Amino acid sequence: MRCLYAFLTTADRELVEHATGEDVGGDAAEAPVVAFALHIARDREAEVLKPNQEVTIRYLYESARRYQEAGIEDHPFTGEVMERALEYLAMNSAGVVDVTV
């Protein structure tokens, strides 16, 4: 599964590091398995997130909603990881925050 990290953009990797504290850049064989990063990578692979499309606050909420609708309470888009991801995107959005859900 670690080869999925190849689908992550530089911005994705920075978001993952800020949200989780884990560095998923560099050597894929040495990278930790991080559910938050794997979810984003799978969405990149499936082109849910297009190659030049940034992860947005709306994307994070939509990802959380999909887990909730599936009845999965313990998922990567909850708690401190979600809070730090939202904070990071808000800080890096040049004052434009998409809060629609």
Q: What is the pLDDT of residues 44-70, one digit of tens each?
A: 999 999 988 999 999 999 999 999 999
Which residue is it, tokens 């995107």?
89
Are 36 and 86 spatial neighbours (Cβ–Cβ below 8 Å)?
A: no
Residue 1 pLDDT exceeds 50: no
Domains identified in the chain, total number = 1
The answer to whether residue 66 sits within a structural domain is: yes
Looking at the domain assignment, is residue 15 inside a domain?
A: yes
The tokens of 98 are what?
């998409």
Residue 68's domain spans which residues? 2-91
Instruction: Give the span between the Cα atoms of 32 and 35, in whole angstroms.
Output: 10
- Tens digit of pLDDT for each residue in 2-54? 588 999 999 999 999 999 999 988 765 677 889 999 999 999 999 999 988 99
Within a domain: 98: no
> Considering the domain boundaries, does residue 57 fall inside one?
yes
Q: Residue 101 falls within a domain, yes or no? A: no
For residue 99, tell me if it sits in a domain.
no
Contact 88, 18 (CB under 8 A): yes
Q: How far apart are CA 79 and CA 3, in angstroms?
A: 26
Q: pLDDT value at position 52?
A: 86
Which tokens in the block code for residue 32?
A: 């930790």
Please report whether residue 51 resides in a domain. yes
Query: pLDDT value at position 33?
Result: 84
